[in-house]
Amino acid sequence: METPDMKPDDPAAEPKPCACQGGAVPPEAEKSTRRELMLKVGIGLNVVAGAMIGLPLIGYALSSFVQKMPLAWITLGALEKFPVGTTRLASYPNPNSRPWDGDTAMIPCWVRHFEENGEQRFQVFAINCAHLGCPVRWFEESQLFLCPCHGGAYYADGSYAAGPPPRGLYEYEYKVENNELLIKGGVLPTLADTNV
Ligand code: FES
């Protein structure tokens, strides 16, 4: 039964719409939805951060099981290219190179051929300075390897002479076979596997 001050088409008299009917969401429900969204975003960010920290650690842990880059005996050419008493520049193709590496696949090195106690011997030096890796140059006149970057100097046998390098030049393992000079290439020599 209608009261006299209540009209049937008065909007104030109509019931409020509920969310299930596409109406306004009550503030409490809205708060809870926002909290859930923030929680999901938080979990997602934690997963990403965990992956960023964890994956390199897993990679490092598994690296010892992965096969190392192969070392290979690589020819530097016939012995005639390196007369006794000379130090000459040579280069060899990196055995781990890819077809698209182009000229960068060729790795330069210095070859010293000398005589000691009546025996002919070689030394093959990495071209990189033992300080920060700049390519060193051989100077016949002064019988020194000089580094253009910070003035590092090495004697003819690759030993340290002056400047910032902490040690002598790195050396490759070598052997002579079928009148050719071969070195073990694949990685640049370091403190871990150098002869010096
Ligand atoms: Fe050769 Fe520094 S890189 S002296």
Measured CA to CA, the distance from residue 38 to residue 179 in angstroms comes to 73
Look at the pTM and tell me if it is higher than 0.75.
no
Q: Which atom of ligand 1 is found nearest the CA of 133? A: 3
> Is the distance from CB of 154 to CB of 167 less than 8 angstroms?
no
> Is the distance from CB of 177 to CB of 148 less than 8 angstroms?
no
> Is the distance from CB of 195 to CB of 171 less than 8 angstroms?
yes
Q: Which atom of ligand 1 is found nearest the CA of 151? A: 4
Hunting for tokens 């390098």 — which residue is that?
165
pLDDT digits (tens, 9 = 90+) for 21-45: 555 667 777 777 888 898 989 898 9
Q: Which atom of ligand 1 is found nearest the CA of 132? A: 3
Task: Name the 3-class secondary structure at 41.
Answer: helix
Looking at the chain, the whole-number percentage of residues with pLDDT higher than 90 is 49
One DSSP character per residue, 82-94 reads S-TTEEEEEEEE-
pLDDT digits (tens, 9 = 90+) for 135-148: 999 999 999 999 99
Residues with Cβ within 6 A of ligand 1? 129, 131-132, 134, 147, 149-150, 152, 163-165
